Structure 1
């Protein structure tokens, strides 16, 4: 799920990383954090592993011998996948933490946790990441906040809806399965 920039914990699961991610890792290891952040920001916006095929109308012009043919009439658009964007966002938080900008790092971590399905699990993994050591106390506070809220994250509204539907079903005598 994550690509960590830690020199001791470099691992990637999921989509292949873009050259901008790789360059960002190199800059991070060289302690050029501002430049690494720019590379990770580019990785969020430039084409990545995502592919979208769309029908294009210019399959050659009728009656024109000079128009280039497109026999399948399909165009390919590439984009950074959501997972690649999350990897870059996490690595930006690591860079901010290494620069000593704990407030910005925690803001980015909060935004990251709002986009993952299991924020508490992701936060527990962050607590053992050496790259986020300078903001570990802030992460612990964030974990306690998430525990009080009941997990939060991507599917939290559905969990609250599910609880309200369950109580409604019980009030009218319907068995919930």
Structure 2
């Protein structure tokens, strides 16, 4: 096997949650980003999908749009949704708190997300993560969580995260991911 050198692309945190109705259909998805460093700068971004549309907010709208386009829309969670429309990108301050012991909380432009109830903490690394047909390096600490909520303009998105336990190991569609690092 030949070693492939990579360049750093992004470091930070990326909590996310998909909510489901009782029938198992997705009702909402949120991806929260604290970008400590990237090739496009640093800051916070919030991406929220509901069947009514896709909103992206960030203090640096160009950085937030890049996060949505380069990363979020290519993730399995987003590709599993019934649609991924053109985003409404808004320049707005994102108030984001990521706490591995409690979860993650974000607010911006009428959007609010809470991910709580950590169930486990484990490292994850994949040296050949396919993203948009290109191999990337990815590592992070994964903290599956029991609860999540999303609201848009004061209206709660119905649904809850899907939590499973296989062999005692919890998994969830709501995750606080910290120490996330991407390379290309």
Q: Normalising to structure 1: TM-score of the pair?
A: 0.22
Point out the structure with the larger helix share: 1
Q: Normalising to structure 2: TM-score of the pair?
A: 0.21
Q: Which has the larger radius of gyration?
A: 1
